[in-house]
Structure 1
Amino acid sequence: MNQLPTLLPTSAADETYGGVTYHIGGELVPVLSIDVSGQSVYFEHHILLWKNSTVRIGLKPLKGAVKRMMAGMQVFVTEASGPGVIAFSRDGAGHIVPIHLAAGEELHVREHQFLAATASVDYTFERVRGISNMLFGQSGFFIDKFRSHAADGVLWVHGYGNVFEKVLGPGETIDIEPGGWLYKTPEVRMETVVDRLTSGLFGAGVNFIVNRFTGPGRVGIQSMYMNYASADN
């Protein structure tokens, strides 16, 4: 039997990496708490749960502002700096996954699933055309790209349901429901596979669509899959 995807840890206590110490706790709606005394973090708008009053909040401009504006994406993210602790949660049942990125490492994340990252992690994006056409009748969707440039960093993502990880060997493939994949390493190739299922009755049929991922590399899978339509731009 092939190796099954592995359930990732659902909690963390006093985990230190990339200049921050963080905690993940809670069962249904998990909470991420980060000590930002030594390193600032940036995060998606509207996910703040609580913070020490000493933690300062500001705006962090993102690279490629003009390109982002033309794509209808956010140009700024919110940034928190210490001393103190700040906590985040998303308004939905799920699983917070910390990804430790050594200097030079990169991860590709499904749009709308980014939670927070340390200041050493760059945030860019890529539009993927064609896949969303068959799902939403639109021109594609976005993949967020995170790369730790000069130093180690941490990226936190939120998956709905539980998050599993599949490690693919060279040439190994896995088919995932289009709303079920959460992240992948850059070397993993993703393509859309469409099977036409017909009943033979009056020519009735339906398309069966999956995303096929080909290794080597890692793929994150969320058990409560989500499909987001992206507006045409």
Structure 2
Amino acid sequence: MEYEITGGAFPMVICKLKKGESMQDETGAMTYMTPGIKMETNTGGGLLKGLGRALSGDTFFLNFFTAERDDEEVAFASCYPGKILPIRLESGKSIIGQKNAFLTAERGINLEMHFRKKLGAGLFGGEGFILQKFTGNGMLFLEIDGEVIEKNLAPGERLLVDQGHVAAMDETVDFDIQRVKGVKNMLFGGEGLFFATLTGPGRVWLQTMPLSKLVDAIIPYIPTNNNE
């Protein structure tokens, strides 16, 4: 499979497939496909698989696009401004992503729920207890809010991150939360009460404009009807 990411701030990934190669996506992400692509919709592994994806913020069903001859194309677009992050997964390694991170992947990639093991991280970490876990062998494409910054943490190296800016990370990265120090910092600093703490080893992908913050920035400019 070959791919090209285009579209700037409103990105789309175009996948060129050989005969028999397949892509999977959350329902509704496909932009276009050539006539030699066959589409199938199913749960991708049974009822429990579908329920698990739904609980992790994705769709109950998946669409599978298979090339019936060489050099067919299928394209998938992000549903909000940002970046499409390509990650090549290898067997035995996993990526943990935020809710709604999944865009598309080769058929050899498995998507399932991932529970945060630490109570504090689940309650105050910005994305809740349930995340998405990706395993398998092949290309994975994630939707990122805004621009993406990659950090490669050494063993024991820590990074403090504002809540909501963690887009994805290797499973080897430890995720926890840390309370902001100082009463004035907590009340007037504008950064909330907690930081996410990430401890290596492993890669971390940060997003510059979480969708929740984008919505908060737009709401004051939405006209309201005061004629009641």
Q: TM-score range by the shorter chain?
A: 0.7 to 0.9
Of 11, 22, 27 in structure 2, the residue corresponding to residue 30 of structure 1 is 11
Q: How many residues align?
A: 202
* Corresponding residue of 1:166: 151
Distance in 1 (CA, whole Å) between partners of 2:15 and 2:49 is 31
Distance in 2 (CA, whole Å) between partners of 1:66 and 1:153 is 23
AA aligned opposite 2:18:
S
Question: Is there any run of 5+ residues in structure 1 with no aligned partner, and where?
Answer: 1-19, 229-233
Q: Work out the percentage of aligned pairs sharing the same amino acid.
A: 22
Q: Specify which structure has the higher proportion of helix.
A: 2
Query: Once the 2 structures are TM-superposed, how far is the Cα of residue 91 of structure 1 from its aligned partner?
Result: 2.5
Distance in 2 (CA, whole Å) between partners of 1:68 and 1:25 is 30
Distance in 2 (CA, whole Å) between partners of 1:67 and 1:197 is 44
Query: Once the 2 structures are TM-superposed, how far is the Cα of residue 100 of structure 1 from its aligned partner?
Result: 0.7
* Corresponding residue of 2:222: none
Distance in 2 (CA, whole Å) between partners of 1:170 and 1:45 is 38
Which of 127-136 and 216-225 deviates more?
127-136
Q: Does 1:133 align with 2:123?
A: yes
Please list, as runs of the form range in 1=range in 2, the aligned pairs for 1:68-83 lying within 5 A after superposition. 69=51, 72-73=54-55, 74-83=59-68
Q: Does 1:91 align with 2:73?
A: no
Q: Does 1:50 align with 2:14?
A: no
AA aligned opposite 1:147:
T
Q: Deviations over 1:161-219 (max 9, x none)?
A: 1111000001000011221111111110000112264249xxx6785221100001100
Distance in 2 (CA, whole Å) between partners of 1:81 and 1:176 is 40
Distance in 2 (CA, whole Å) between partners of 1:135 and 1:190 is 9
* Corresponding residue of 2:170: 185
Distance in 2 (CA, whole Å) between partners of 1:120 and 1:70 is 18
Distance in 1 (CA, whole Å) between partners of 2:198 and 2:124 is 18
Secondary structure, in 3 states, of the residue corresponding to 1:66?
A: helix
Query: Once the 2 structures are TM-superposed, how far is the Cα of residue 147 of structure 1 from its aligned partner?
Result: 0.9
Secondary structure, in 3 states, of the residue corresponding to 1:42?
A: strand
Q: Specify which structure has the higher proportion of strand.
A: 1
CA gap of 1:113–1:66, structure 2 versus 1, over 3 A, is same
CA gap of 1:87–1:71, structure 2 versus 1, over 3 A, is closer
CA gap of 1:40–1:103, structure 2 versus 1, over 3 A, is same
Large movers: runs of 4+ above 6 Å: none
1:160, 1:225 within 8 Å by CA — same for their partners in 2? yes
Secondary structure, in 3 states, of the residue corresponding to 2:193?
A: strand
Which of 75-84 and 161-170 deviates more?
75-84
1:36, 1:80 within 8 Å by CA — same for their partners in 2? no
Of 109, 131, 135 in structure 2, the residue corresponding to residue 121 of structure 1 is 109
AA aligned opposite 1:161:
G
Distance in 2 (CA, whole Å) between partners of 1:71 and 1:153 is 19
TM-score by length of 1: 0.76
Q: Deviations over 1:41-79 (max 9, x none)?
A: 101122111111221111242447337537853432111
